[in-house]
Structure 1
Amino acid sequence: MLTPADMALCGLDPETLFAPLAGRKTIGLAVSGGADSLALMLLYAAWSGTKPRAIVYTVDHGLRPEAQAEAAMVAREAGKLGLSCRALAWTGDKPSTGRQSAARKARYGLIAQAMDADGAEILLTAHHLRDQAETVLMRLAHGSGVSGLGGIRTFSSVEGICVFRPLLGVSPETLATLVARAGLSPAFDPSNADGTYERTRWRDALPGLADLGLAPDRLGKAAERLQRIDALAIRATDGFIAGHGTLDPLGIVRIEREAFGTADPEIRVRVIERALAGVSGVQSFFLSRIEALAERIAAGARFTATLAGTRILAEANTIVIHREAGRRGLPTASLAPGQSLVWDGRFVVKAAIAGTIGPATGLGREAFGALTGGTLAGPVAGLRAAPLVRDAHGEIAAIGGIEVGEGFSVEQIPLTSWAGNCGNRPPDGAVALVSPE
């Protein structure tokens, strides 16, 4: 247990660190057993305010023989601090390549399931100042734009989990000091020192960069400033889309071309990126491709192009972007009563009765008119990439966001949801059903 003197020595105040959690009922703490996450757990336990119920989640990835003992150590130390702990295990075959990425996805998947079962609203992780510095450098090397160079956010959505990182401004040396003063021996994962991983190489380069003036605190401050610029650009993009863009019930985006041509170049890039994300359900693109596409449209060219599972029609007065089925088609599934799912990253479907969902393949303008009583305003290909919901008898209940029967509700994920904000999570318990591409 930390004493007030320990925290004063390190310049940390739990009351300030965890203030954003006011009003939460249950939260999760991701604790691996390393010094950073043990410090997070110690600081949370030292918080003397009225705090949410906390559950510690630790994951044995099954990649190292020491992992099981490390998970047991976390559970033991959590118990000493009066915190509940759930030890989770990643079982089954492990990939031979891309293990770090696969382990991260598995870890968040396991924790997400446990949080849903426990009613936990938000997950705290121990990302710190050096993590931020490494991320900024990596993204700079990869050619990221302003959003990417803003680095790690204090709040974000990761694999459907709302994540809070209270220690982003704290150095790992400070956290290690806290753990040592508490008398704990943290676990060490040798992969963190493996130079085959890019992040490790940037970590090893940091001391030399610090000698040139690029210390982690400077990089962290740069990330804060870029996040402010990014937030301003996001608001401007929201305003442009509200005034000059539409998302129709079939998931087709339309943008007024004249307004697009007179917009600021940064906003043009962001509008196209946002539209592609909303139409494809994908949230990551090569920035250079988006920039080239936005520049081509702004130059007045009329063309048809495809990108990230979408088709872009640059017409005389309108930019039309719709989903394509792609090489492997769009997802299909059965719906059980009471089930919610996110279809193709674009539509949230809630079923009161049993049914099925899949793409509206084969439907044309005449069938659309007969079912809805309206006229199809967009391309038939856009209609055929929209979800078609049928009841157990095969009767059509919804086309895209147009409900023509009973027993199902369909909502579109708005264009403002692509950025991964905590406030834009799908409904609790919703299954993410994505394209097999």
Structure 2
Amino acid sequence: MGTSVDDHRRSIRDLLAPLAQRAPVVRHLDGALGLALAADLAAPVSLPPFDNSQMDGFAVRSSDFGPGELAMGRAFVPVRPIPAGTVPAPLAPGQAAPIMTGAMLPDGADAVVPVERAQPPRFPEPAELMDHARVVLPAVDPGTYVRRAGSDVAAGRIVLAAGTRLGPAQLGLAAALGLTELPVRPPLRVAVVSTGAELAAAGEPLSPGQIYDSNGALLVGSLRDGGVEATATAVRSDDPDALRAALAQAARSADLLVTTGGVSKGAFEATKLALADADVEFVHLSMQPGGPQGIGRVAGVPFLGFPGNPVSCWVSWEILLRPVLAELLGVPAARRRLRLPLAAPLDSPSGKLQVRRARVDEDGRASLVGGPGSHLLGALAASDALVLVPEDVTGLPAGADVEVWLL
């Protein structure tokens, strides 16, 4: 039996916990997308900041309608229209003010009648206003089609908690509150170092025995997609000195070092050889794929060693690192987790958390994509979910509920 996934995840959390204590930085809204808010945000103003109209229509006093006018309506004297962005004159009894969507409700008015319910069903022309034309409106209750001040957000209320990931909706809220910048947790800087003599750079001809390096693009893309700053370096040899030099260089500007490859039990495991004297422990998890792992510090910087098979290193990110970063830093966002039925039966190795790639079909079932192999990058690219099969489960029938993480 290897180290449990939960225990290793806790070790990663302990390793990275100091990163959550870094001093906040202030970012303009244009540069805050995907970052995490560093402090609770209290609304400096109410939203809406004033009572306004929800419709194009006529602002009225609902008390102007008498008991006999509830069904038939009554005639009103239309007054000067109220466009958005203006401060209207108070509304006297018997008057109806043409009002545009979002415009401030005049003092005295407490309801809006949509223009299409008026007789005639249009706004009066300027000449008609001069001639004191009438408009017949049906009775309405107080508050009809009125957006009350503070009905969305009350001034002083906490609208975003510290740690909230700032997406478009959150930045839109901040802009609506009149803010131009926000305190955020500094972005995490991750250096990804791929290792292995078998790696060839994309665009170069493959020599016999070589494969293209996909781990750099896979992990850096995953990190950046989650709001993490990331760079990729490849050490295309099994020379421990070359890897040590690359890690030392990366450690100068990174908050976290992640290697891929060289952590298993082979005879030429470059990462193990390079870090034999470092403060790094190599363990094997009860997980498939992604069993071999490394954890510790290199040149004082937190270090994680992921396996070299593409799916293994990506599963390591999703199952081990991503949840810890989401908890500690708020970025990236945690994956949504559901219980869904399997579309087909599956087998799973005893004593291991098996992580399978899947798609959620139109019936809400998890359909496995590809097999359990750690090299099936095509199956990964076709997936939109992960299925997690617990260590004590060796098989499940079609229709059995399983834990599913949506990608």
* TM-score, reference length from structure 1: 0.24
| Higher normalized contact order (CA 8 Å, seq sep 6+, divided by chain length) | 2
* TM-score, reference length from structure 2: 0.26
